[in-house]
Chain A
Amino acid sequence: MRSVSSVTFVRRPWRLLAEASALLIAVVVAFPLYWMVLSAFKPAGEIESSEPRPWTLAPSLDSFRRVFEQNEFGRYFLNSLVVACTVVIASALIAFLAATAVTRFRFRFRTTLLIMFLVAQMVPVEALTIPLFFLMRDFGQLNTLGSLILPHIAFSLPFAIWMLRGFVKAVPQALEEAAYIDGASRSRFLWQILFPLVFPGLVATSVFSFISAWNDFLFAKSFIISDTSQSTLPMALLVFYKPDEPDWGGVMAASTVMTIPVLIFFVLVQRRLVSGLGGAVKD
Chain B
Amino acid sequence: MTSVTNRTTWTPWLYLAPALVVLGGLLVYPVYQLGLISFFEYTQAQVSGGEPTTFQGFGNYSELFSDAQFWQVLLATVVFAAACVVSTLAVGCALAVLLTRVRAVPRLALMLAALGAWATPAITGSTVWLFLFDPDFGPVNRVLGLGDHSWTYGRFSAFFLVLLEVVWCSFPFVMVTVYAGIRAVPAEVLEAAALDGASQWRIWRSVLAPMLRPILVVVTIQSVIWDFKVFTQIYVMTNGGGIAGQNLVLNVYAYQKAFASSQYSLGSAIGVVMLLILLAVTLVYLRLLRRQGEEL
- Residues on A lying within 8 angstroms of B by beta carbon are 1-10, 14-15, 18-19, 21-23, 25-27, 29-33, 35-36, 39, 47-52, 54, 93-95, 97-98, 100-102, 104-107, 110-111, 113-115, 118-132, 134-135, 150-151, 153-155, 157-158, 161, 173, 176-177, 180, 186, 211, 214-215, 217, 234, 237, 241, 243, 248, 251-252, 255, 258-259, 262-263, 265-267, 270, 273-283
| Contact indicator per residue, chain B 107-137, by CB within 8 Å of chain A (1) or not (0) | 1011111111111111111011101100011
Other-chain contact of B22, A154, A177, A258, A280 (Cβ < 8 Å): A154
Interface positions, chain B 128-172, Cβ under 8 Å from A, are 128-129, 131-132, 136-139, 142, 168
Query: How far apart are A113's CB and chain B's nearest CB, in angstroms?
Result: 7
**Range, interface on chain B:** 35 or more
Kindly report which residue of chain A lies nearest to residue B22, judged by CB atoms: A154
Q: Dominant SS at the B interface?
A: helix
Which 5 A-B pairs rank lowest in CB-CB distance, beginning with the nearest? A278-B180, A127-B271, A154-B26, A131-B33, A122-B278
Q: Would you call B121 and A18 a contact (CB within 8 A)?
A: no
Query: How far apart are B177's CB and chain A's nearest CB, in angstroms?
Result: 4
Other-chain contact of B26, A124, A132, A259, A263 (Cβ < 8 Å): A132
Interface positions, chain B 171-223, Cβ under 8 Å from A, are 173, 176-177, 179-187, 190-191, 194-195, 214-215, 218-219
Q: Would you call B180 and A32 a contact (CB within 8 A)?
A: no
Q: Would you call B1 and A95 a contact (CB within 8 A)?
A: no
Knowing A128-B34, A258-B124, A274-B179 touch, does A35 contact B132 (C-beta < 8 A)? Answer: yes
Knowing A15-B102, A22-B99, A107-B12 touch, does A48 contact B19 (C-beta < 8 A)? Answer: no
Q: Would you call A22 and B12 a contact (CB within 8 A)?
A: no
Q: Would you call A36 and B124 a contact (CB within 8 A)?
A: yes
Interface core residue of B95, B113, B177, B219 (most chain A CB under 10 Å): B113
Query: How far apart are B182's CB and chain A's nearest CB, in angstroms?
Result: 6
Q: Would you call B110 and A98 a contact (CB within 8 A)?
A: no
**Interface flag for B79 (CB, 8 Å):** no
Interface CB pairs A-B, < 8 A, 10: A29-B168, A124-B275, A130-B264, A130-B268, A135-B33, A153-B26, A258-B121, A263-B119, A267-B115, A277-B173
Q: Would you call A101 and B30 a contact (CB within 8 A)?
A: no
**Interface flag for B61 (CB, 8 Å):** no
Other-chain contact of B296, A104, A115, A215, A241 (Cβ < 8 Å): A115
- Residues on B lying within 8 angstroms of A by beta carbon are 1, 3-6, 9, 11-13, 15-16, 18-20, 22-23, 25-27, 29-31, 33-34, 37, 95, 98-103, 106-107, 109-125, 127-129, 131-132, 136-139, 142, 168, 173, 176-177, 179-187, 190-191, 194-195, 214-215, 218-219, 225, 229, 231-232, 239, 250-251, 254-255, 258-259, 264, 267-268, 270-271, 274-275, 278-279, 281-282, 285-286, 296
